[in-house]
Amino acid sequence: MTTVIDGKQVAASIIETVKMAAASLEKQSGVKAGLAVVIVGDDPASHAYVNAKSKMAKQCGFKSVQHTLSAETTQQELAALVSSLNADPSIHGILVQLPLPKHLNSDPIIQSILPEKDVDGLHVVNAGKLATGDLETGLVSCTPAGAMVFVRRMHGEDLSGLSAVVIGRSNLFGKPMAQLLLNANATVTIAHSRTKDLPAVCRNADILVAAVGRPQMVKADWVKPGATVIDVGINRIAAPERGEGKTRLVGDVAFEEASNVAAVITPVPGGVGPMTIAMLMANTVIAGHRAAGQTPPKF
Ligand code: GUN
């Protein structure tokens, strides 16, 4: 029997822990966890994501602040906003939604966020802490942190003896995911578009994580029988079977066929997706605890 991980259910359990931790932080130290989300421009998909983040922050009992800036915002104006949020003691987490409009340079903005408020885990200090195995004082990027929750729930804390393959080498996902798996003692391979015989490399994986952005690329014969397959891709493809002009979301894994071979697999949608917002809330409540000198919860 193949286990299909219900990401919504796991995300809901993380959110419950966040709510309890936020309430206890406020009770113990009078500190309300605060999240500021910044969005620049009019991209409808980005607005939908950001609204969901702000709304969830409220549901968690946080102070939730959203800064919606026009598409004409200058680099200096955005930098000044980040600087004021850095200085605001009621804000423990700052998220600048990406991508920014083309005339803005995102890297200096992201790197100007105080590392202890960088709930996206994108600051080089947080990337460096993860790379050196310091998971106690840093903040980990939300999507890999969410994927790792699934891995821990299936395999426990210690992945000694297991081989893990991550397809994709981005700073946002592939690299931090590989670091998390390595930190848990897995033997890790980072595969990418230049890897020779990718299917053979993947077939070696007890834990296969796909984050390439190519619809249904990972086929059944890429999967080791009994493997855990985590699909991080979200791709919109044409779905003529649903009617003319209709589309549907699929992952980087050919789910139907791969689920006949894997022991555990995540669906798209409803797998890793719901975990990203949940882990953003987790990072915010962790940052709030640290700022108040309290021991943060573990997720
Ligand atoms: N845009 C899409 N995903 C993300 C994310 O995880 N963080 C930020 N800041 N922007 C995004």
Q: Which of 115, 130, 150 corresponds to the end of one domain?
A: 115
252 Cβ inside 6 Å of ligand 1? no
Whether 124 is in a domain gets the answer no
Residues 99 and 160 in one domain: no
Task: Tell me the residue range of the domain where 71 lies.
Answer: 29-115
Task: Choose the residue to mutate in 98, 109, 281, 283 for probing ligand 1, maximizing ligand atoms within 8 Å of C-beta.
Answer: 98
Place of tokens 């848990």: 184
Strands 163-167 and 63-69, by their bridges, are unpaired
Residue-wise pLDDT for 11-43, tens only, equals 999 999 999 999 999 999 999 999 999 999 999
Tell me, yes or no, whether 281 lies in a domain. Answer: no
Beta-sheet pairing, 247-250 with 235-238: antiparallel
Can you tell me which residue has the tokens 């931790």?
21
DSSP alpha helix (H) spans, 60-97: 75-87
Say how far apart CA 230 and CA 167 lie, in whole Å.
Answer: 10
Q: Assess whether 90 and 33 both reside in one domain.
A: yes
Residue at 110 is within a domain: yes
pLDDT at position 127 is 98
The domain spanning residue 196 has which CATH number?
3.40.50.720
Please give the distance, rounded to the nearest whole angstrom, from the Cα atom of residue 147 to the centre of ligand 1: 15
Is residue 98 in contact with ligand 1, taking CB distance under 6 Å? yes
Q: 173 and 85, same structural domain?
A: no
Proportion of the chain above pLDDT 70, given as a percent: 100
Numbered residues of the known binding site? 168-170, 234
List Cβ neighbours of 283 (8 Å cut-off, separation of 6 or more).
Answer: 93, 119, 120, 121, 139, 140, 142, 145
User: Is 129 a domain residue?
Assistant: no
How much is the average pLDDT of 49-78?
Answer: 98
Q: What is the structure's pLDDT at 30? A: 98
Q: Whose alpha carbon is nearest atom 1 of ligand 1?
A: 98
The predicted pLDDT at position 43 comes to 95
| Residues 268 and 222 both lie in one domain | yes
pLDDT score of 1 = 86
Q: Is 95 in the pocket of ligand 1 (CB under 6 A)?
A: yes
Residue 124 has a pLDDT of: 98
Instruction: Report the alpha-carbon distance of residue 179 to residue 185 in Å, rounded.
Output: 10
Active-site residue identified among 53, 63, 117, 224: 53
The amino acid at 34: G
Point out the annotated binding site for NADP(+). Answer: 168-170, 234
Instruction: Single out the catalytic residue among 63, 117, 118, 120.
Output: 120
Count of other CB atoms within 10 angstroms of residue 147? 29
d(CA 266, CA 146): 12
Q: Is residue 166 part of a domain?
A: yes
Classify residue 19: in a domain, yes or no: no
Same domain, 171 and 262: yes
The Cα 197–Cα 201 span in angstroms is: 7
- Residue 62 lies inside a defined structural domain of this protein: yes
Q: Coil, strand or helix: which one is 229?
A: strand
283 C-alpha vs ligand 1 centroid, how far in Å? Answer: 14
Would you give the DSSP letter of residue 116?
G
The CATH number linked to 40 is: 3.40.50.10860
Q: What is the pLDDT of residue 166?
A: 98
* Residue located nearest, by CA, to atom 11 of ligand 1: 98
Catalytic residue, from 63, 97, 175, 216: name it: 97
How does pLDDT run across 140-186, given as a tens digit for each residue?
999 999 999 999 999 999 999 999 999 999 999 999 999 999 999 99
Tallying the residues shown for the chain, one arrives at 299
Question: Is there a single domain that holds both residue 179 and residue 258?
Answer: yes
Q: Does residue 96 line the site of ligand 1, with CB under 6 A?
A: yes
270 & 146 share domain: yes
* pLDDT at 117 > cutoff 90: yes
Q: Which residues pair with 207 in a beta bridge?
A: 164, 228
Q: What's the mean per-residue pLDDT of the chain?
A: 97
Q: Is 120 a catalytic residue?
A: yes
The number of domains in the chain is 2
State whether 74 and 173 are in the same domain.
Answer: no
In a domain? residue 108 = yes
**What pLDDT is attached to residue 233?**
97
| pLDDT one-digit tens code per residue, 186-237 | 999 999 999 999 999 999 999 999 999 999 999 999 999 999 999 999 999 9
Asked if residues 219 and 194 have their Cβ atoms less than 8 Å apart, the reply is no
Distance CA 261, CA 53 (A): 35
Is 97 an annotated catalytic residue?
Answer: yes
